[in-house]
Amino acid sequence: MPDTSRHTSGSGAYTVATSPEEYERAAAALAAGRGPFAIDTERASAYRYDDRAFLVQIFRRGAGTFLLAPEGHRDDFESILAPVVGGGDWIVHAAPEDLPSLSELGLYPGTLFDTALAGRIAGFDKPNLAAMVEEFCGVALEKGHGREDWSEVPLPAEWLDYAAEDVIYLNELAEAQAELLAATDKLEIADEEFAFIVAEYAEWEPTVKTWRDLKGIAQLKSRTSLAVARALWEERDAEARDRDKSPSQILPNKVVLAVAKALPRSPRDLGAVPGFPQRRRGAVQRWFKVLQSVYDSDPSTWPTRKRRADDDETGPPGKSAWQRHHPDSWEALQAMRSAVAYSAAQLEMQAEVLLTPATLREAVWTVTNEPGPWSTHRVAVLLRSLGAREWQIAEVAPLFGLIEV
């Protein structure tokens, strides 16, 4: 990362800060600014073990734009920036993507305006930042660096220019969106959604993943395959953590599953598994030792298949089981999907903004499987318990009168 200095891009000047002393100067300038903090992060989860922020971009009117690199000084970063930025009014694009890494740095919003969510509420199907800035600000942003390895040191100047543009226009964008939402009687809806996000992430804790979280793990049928998948995952995770590398760079998920399905019984068979990095020095021998340790272990220690949602009496089953074993309930779900979609269309927004598919499934399953009667008030209580916001409840709860219970 370059030393702190003023840089100029096509969209204006910005300052890069990489040390506690430079954080202090940035914090002082930001404290003297006015209005909301426009904030973004750049992360490197495709290259590093976790999804921590390697660059935090902050713009505030009267202060300017700052690109702060916290790596190596995370405690100092928090102690210096949190008193200034934390608890303030924030503007973020797609906040749920950035708030976890910001919370790890001790930064939490007091209030929030999410320009991506505002775009969806306003009726835009694909409210990515470039599209929104061009629509509301008339500016075409630079593209092409979002998937870079932001843990690199130093960061190229063109990447820094790109990162600065991600926050420079957020204030103007938020103001234009707020004006549109107010004109369409949706600003209160947006405010309720923003407040929900603030509350949700105020107590955010990182999710601890296990081998059970492997995408496609349900494809594995035998306990031997499950034991192999677990052993490969745990070995890979330990190395990834030690080397601070993305687990997928060590052994891709699809290869873990392919090996667990194939159950190779020799190093040669392992090297023949599609996608296995057989040309990587020592890889075949190293990973076959993991397999052999499983084959030599006591089968009573091998894991069993996780209970599927189909078998869980407390929640909705999977699609096929729902259709096959609960046809009336499934028909009610289809009716509610259509009703929610129609209601959302009247509000000029996507159906999943009005109510998430997961919440709708849970609600319909409960209503069609628990004793009635199900009044609008009772449905409202149910939806509230599932995390629906008041504006959503007001729109959706009456629709449940359309289904026969």
Token pair recorded at residue 205? 């804790």
109-114: average pLDDT: 98
**pLDDT at 346 (0 to 100):** 97
Bridge partners for 90 per DSSP: 37, 112
Mean pLDDT of 178-184: 98
Summarize pLDDT for 22-67 with one digit per residue, the tens.
999 999 999 999 999 999 999 999 999 999 999 999 999 999 999 9
Res. 206 pLDDT band, cuts 50 70 90? confident
Q: Among 3.40.50.2300, 1.20.1440.230, 1.10.150.80, 1.10.1740.10, what is the CATH number of 310-402?
A: 1.10.150.80
| Location of each CATH 1.10.150.80 domain in the chain | 211-301, 310-402
Given a cut of 50, whether residue 312 has pLDDT beyond it is no
> For residues 161-195, b (16+ Cβ closer than 10 Å) or e, as one string?
bbbbbbbbbbbbbbebbbebbeeeebbebbbebbe
Is residue 396 predicted with pLDDT exceeding 80?
yes
With bands split at pLDDT 50, 70 and 90, how would you rate the model's confidence at 142? confident
Residue-wise DSSP of 72-115: T-HHHHHHHHHHHHTTSEEEESSHHHHHHHHHTTT---SEEEEH
Which of helix, strand or coil describes residue 125?
A: coil
What's the mean pLDDT in 223-233? 98
- 281 pLDDT more than 90: yes
What's the whole-number average pLDDT of the chain? 94
Long-range contacts of 250-254 (CB under 8 A, 24+ apart): 251/277, 251/287, 253/214, 253/215, 253/216, 254/216
Handedness of CA 74, 78, 80, 86 (dihedral sign): positive
Nearest to 145 by CA among 16, 8, 40, 12: 40
In 277-319 the beta strands, taken as DSSP E runs, fall at: none
Q: Which long-range contacts (CB under 8 A, 24 or more apart) does 231-236 make?
A: 231/290, 231/291, 231/293, 231/294, 232/256, 232/259, 232/260, 232/287, 232/290, 232/291, 235/287, 235/290
> Which pLDDT belongs to residue 146?
85
| Start and end residues for every CATH 3.30.420.10 domain found in the chain | 6-202
**Percentage above 90 pLDDT, the chain:** 90
Q: Classify domain 6-202 at the CATH topology level.
A: Nucleotidyltransferase; domain 5 (3.30.420)
CATH number of 211-301, picked from 3.10.420.10, 1.10.10.10, 1.10.150.80, 3.40.50.720? 1.10.150.80
pLDDT for res 9: 63
Higher-scoring residue by pLDDT: 12, 325: 325
Q: Is it the case that residue 276 has pLDDT exceeding 80? A: yes
pLDDT-wise least confident of 2-11, 89-98, 292-301: 2-11
Tokens 């084959």 sit at which residue?
Answer: 295
Say whether pLDDT at 309 is over 50. Answer: no
pLDDT category at 310 given cuts 50, 70, 90 is very low
